[in-house]
Amino acid sequence: AQSVTQLDSQVPVFEEAPVELRCNYSSSVSVYLFWYVQYPNQGLQLLLKYLSGSTLVKGINGFEAEFNKSQTSFHLRKPSVHISDTAEYFCAVSDSNYQLIWGAGTKLIIKP
């Protein structure tokens, strides 16, 4: 069965600094990968997705992620974070039954 691991439960970073949120998944023949963002007291919103093609995927709000098949990773990055990026970020993979398998989430904490 598929599994998703988000290696950090919290990531503190200074405003305007770069950030990387890590996500690893168990290998599969083919995967569809997602990052969702959850702002405080809100539902989840799709940030970006990898379906096929270019391994570098760009999403909303300046975020991007790189699919690395050999390392079974899909890390999320942003070159310069803002206070408005404070949120919890979830990585997910679509399994063969078209269910989404979720990571435990990473809280991004922006320090002024």
Partner 1 sequence: DAGITQSPRYKITETGRQVTLMCHQTWSHSYMFWYRQDLGHGLRLIYYSAAADITDKGEVPDGYVVSRSKTENFPLTLESATRSQTSVYFCASRSLGSSYNEQFFGPGTRLTVL
Residues that bind partner 1 (CB under 8 A): 6, 9, 32, 34, 36, 42-46, 49, 51, 90, 94, 98-100, 102-105
What does the alpha-carbon distance between residue 38 and residue 49 come to, in Å, rounded to a whole number? Answer: 15
Distances (CA, A) of 56 to 40, 65, 84: 28, 6, 23
**Nearer to partner 1 by C-beta: 14 or 39?**
39
**Nearer to partner 1 by C-beta: 34 or 67?**
34
| Residue 17 beta carbon to partner 1: minimum distance, rounded to whole angstroms | 26
56: left (phi over 0), alpha (psi -120 to 50) or beta: beta
**Nearer to partner 1 by C-beta: 43 or 112?**
43
Given CA atoms 47, 98, 4, 52 in this order, what sign does their dihedral have?
negative
**Nearer to partner 1 by C-beta: 19 or 50?**
50
Q: Look up residue 66 and give its amino acid.
A: E
| Residue 18 beta carbon to partner 1: minimum distance, rounded to whole angstroms | 25
| Residue 98 beta carbon to partner 1: minimum distance, rounded to whole angstroms | 5
